């Protein structure tokens, strides 16, 4: 057996062994996922905790943002709810004006318009520092929530040891293309296998941005660290959800997954945007894995296996594929052992998933193997070589013609009178735009903006 054949066979065999152990234990632990139950004593309205919903948005499509706000406004939640919509210097504010105007008379809504784009992290912080609820729910502007999401997340968060919890994510545009169908299946696996297994030990490694709830007291103790994250001396402008989750775990709080709190988010329907998204996520994962390694001794041993499986597994697969391709190119010999093992593992995995989910569509997830091998593995290698790059890759600079330096806040007078709206936000926006200027309060009725 020549060296290339040996290398490919050994690498794919090690990959198969690691993957079998890791995925097998993951499937076992994922079976015991906690389902949030709303106890009878919580049903009394005076016992419901208050919740602040933070929705940062940047150049969002009006229809998408409208659906997001409607899903939040229609939450079946008996406690106090306040919603902060933070426009992060969008260039399409005029198109968004009717969407904002539809809620400007709702006392639960406050709209904050930042004068220029500062990034999702600082847009979140602009609202968080001035809000006052017991819990903070971060929702992406392209995400819609089932009516009971807030109730189910708060029910799970009643345990004071829990610092953060996430709901289950689905693709709202699943039926659009073959890619969106694959991504929806990918989300199901990420939530109902990976996160569900991690939640068994109270250590979900990434409470995903589209729908994640945080305990305010825990969040405020970490907010400065979250805001000032650096990598190799440069500010980190993406991977907010993963980094904040790791900070929660590092501080000793539990992080949880609530499978029946369902949020649907828009996913890329073309390969280009999908690969750019995966590149950002890969960089974020590699960056925060270094931080997560320090936590492993204090966590269950399964979490060590989880980190090894997610990082060493792709490396072994990449070595096997590269050696196999080299063998094919140099000796004109098909690396059958490698091909058969990969095909066999793919078939077994898709069969097990289809059985677990009770959905035959997961047999089609075998297509993801080709995307993983020929697109995602090279992309992860590139991400590892370019960790210092913080470009979002999908953002375009927004221009605000008048160049105002002050954030605009559109708050209902009832909100201001209750002391929960604009005064605190004015202070928080000084952090967001690094300015000492006071915020301008705009009376509702006619929506104003800085452009």
Same structural domain, 340 and 213: yes
DSSP secondary structure letters along 186-245: HHHHIIIIIIHHHHTTTB-S---TTEEEEEHHHHHHHHHHHHT-EETTEE--S-HHHHHH
Of 399, 421, 437, which marks where a domain is finished? 399
Q: In the predicted model, is pLDDT for residue 13 greater than 50?
A: yes
**Do 389 and 331 share a structural domain?**
yes
In terms of residue numbers, what domain contains 6? 1-38+147-399
**Residue 292: pLDDT band with limits 50, 70, 90:** confident
**Looking at the domain assignment, is residue 185 inside a domain?**
yes
Residue with tokens 């709830």: 213
418-425 long-range CB contacts below 8 Å, 24 or more apart?
420/82, 420/131, 420/132, 421/82, 421/110, 422/110, 423/130, 424/129, 424/130, 424/131, 424/132, 425/84, 425/110, 425/112, 425/126, 425/127, 425/130, 425/131
Two tokens, residue 313: 């597994």
| Location of structure tokens 């406050």 | 110
- 26 domain-assigned: yes
Q: What is the CA radius of gyration of the chain?
A: 23
Same domain for 394 and 410: no
d(CA 138, CA 107): 19
- Give tens-digit pLDDT for 104-158: 889 999 999 999 999 999 999 999 998 999 999 999 999 999 999 999 999 999 9
Given a cut of 50, whether residue 173 has pLDDT beyond it is: yes
pLDDT over 50 at 346, yes or no: yes
Pair 444, 361 in one domain = no
**Which of 399, 419, 437 is the endpoint of a domain?**
399
Last residue in a domain, options 358, 377, 399? 399
**Span 17-29, pLDDT tens digits:** 999 999 999 999 9
Same domain, 177 and 296: yes
Distance CA 9, CA 76 (A): 55
Q: Is residue 298 part of a domain?
A: yes
Is the pLDDT higher at 227 or at 265?
A: 265
Same domain for 161 and 78, yes or no, is: no
Q: For residues 258-282, b (16+ Cβ closer than 10 Å) or e, as one string?
A: bbbbbbbbbbbeeeeebbbbbbbbb
Longest distance between any two alpha carbons in the chain, whole Å = 80
pTM of the predicted structure, to 2 decimals: 0.86
DSSP code per residue over 347-388: HHHHHHHHHHHT-GGGGGGGHHHHHIIIIIHHHHHHHHHTTT
Q: Do 430 and 357 share a structural domain?
A: no
pLDDT at 39: 60
**Residue 263 falls inside a structural domain:** yes
Q: Which tens digits make up the pLDDT trace of 65-96? A: 999 999 999 999 999 999 999 999 999 999 99
Same domain (yes/no): 251, 365: yes
345 and 421 fall within a common domain:
no
Task: Identify the pLDDT of residue 398.
Answer: 44
**In terms of domains, do 86 and 193 share one?**
no
Q: Which pLDDT score is estimated for 32?
A: 61
pLDDT in tens, 354-394: 999 999 999 999 999 999 999 999 999 999 998 877 665 55
Total domains, the chain: 2
**Residue 230 banded pLDDT, cuts 50, 70, 90:** confident
Is residue 356 in a domain?
yes
Are 284 and 238 in contact by the 8 Å Cβ rule? The answer is: yes
Q: In this structure, is residue 392 part of a structural domain? A: yes
Query: Is residue 44 a part of any domain in this protein?
Result: no
In this predicted structure, the answer to whether residue 278 has a pLDDT above a threshold of 90 is yes
Residue 410 and residue 393 share a domain: no
Residue 335 lies in a domain: yes
Based on the fold, state whether residues 434 and 299 are members of the same structural domain. Answer: no
């Amino acid at each position: 057996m020549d060296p290339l054949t040996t290398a490919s066979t050994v690498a794919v065999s090690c990959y198969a062994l690691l993957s079998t152990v890791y995925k097998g234990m993951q499937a076992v632990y994922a079976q015991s996922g906690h389902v949030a139950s709303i106890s009878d004593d919580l049903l009394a309205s005076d016992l419901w905790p208050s919740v602040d919903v933070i929705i940062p948005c940047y150049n969002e499509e009006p229809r998408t943002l409208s659906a997001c706000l409607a899903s939040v406004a229609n939450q079946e939640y008996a406690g106090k709810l306040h919603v902060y919509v933070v426009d992060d210097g969008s260039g399409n504010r005029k198109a968004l004006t009717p969407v904002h105007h539809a809620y400007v008379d709702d006392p639960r809504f406050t709209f904050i318009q930042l004068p220029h784009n500062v990034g999702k992290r600082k847009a979140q912080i602009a609202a968080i520092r001035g809000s006052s609820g017991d819990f903070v729910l971060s929702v992406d502007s392209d995400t819609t929530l089932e009516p009971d999401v807030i109730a189910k997340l708060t029910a799970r968060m009643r345990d004071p040891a829990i610092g953060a919890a996430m709901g289950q994510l689905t693709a709202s545009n699943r039926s659009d293309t073959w890619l969106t169908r694959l991504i929806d299946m990918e989300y199901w696996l990420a939530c109902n296998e990976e996160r569900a297994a991690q939640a068994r030990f109270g250590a979900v490694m990434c409470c995903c941005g589209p729908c994640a709830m945080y305990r305010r007291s825990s969040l405020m103790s970490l907010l400065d660290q979250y805001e000032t994250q650096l990598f190799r001396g440069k500010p980190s402008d993406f991977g907010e959800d993963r980094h904040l989750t790791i900070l929660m775990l590092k501080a000793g709080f539990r992080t949880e997954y609530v499978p029946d709190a369902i949020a649907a988010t828009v996913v890329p329907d073309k390969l280009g945007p999908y690969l750019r998204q995966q590149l950002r996520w890969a960089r974020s994962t590699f960056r925060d894995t270094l931080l997560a390694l320090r936590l492993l001794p204090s966590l269950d041993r399964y979490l060590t296996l989880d980190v090894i499986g997610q990082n060493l597994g792709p490396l072994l697969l990449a070595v096997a594929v590269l050696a196999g391709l080299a063998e094919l190119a140099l000796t004109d010999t098909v690396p059958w052992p490698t091909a058969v093992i990969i095909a066999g593992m793919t078939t077994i995995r898709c069969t097990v998933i289809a059985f677990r989910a009770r959905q035959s569509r997961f047999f089609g997830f075998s297509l993801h193997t080709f995307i993983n091998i020929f697109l995602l593995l090279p992309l992860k290698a590139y991400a590892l070589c370019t960790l210092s790059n913080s470009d979002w890759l999908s953002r375009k600079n927004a221009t605000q013609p008048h160049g105002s330096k002050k954030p605009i806040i559109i708050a209902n007078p009832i909100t201001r009178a209750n002391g929960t709206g604009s005064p605190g936000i004015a202070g928080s926006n000084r952090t967001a735009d690094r300015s000492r200027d006071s915020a301008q309060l705009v009376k509702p009725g006619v929506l104003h903006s800085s452009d």
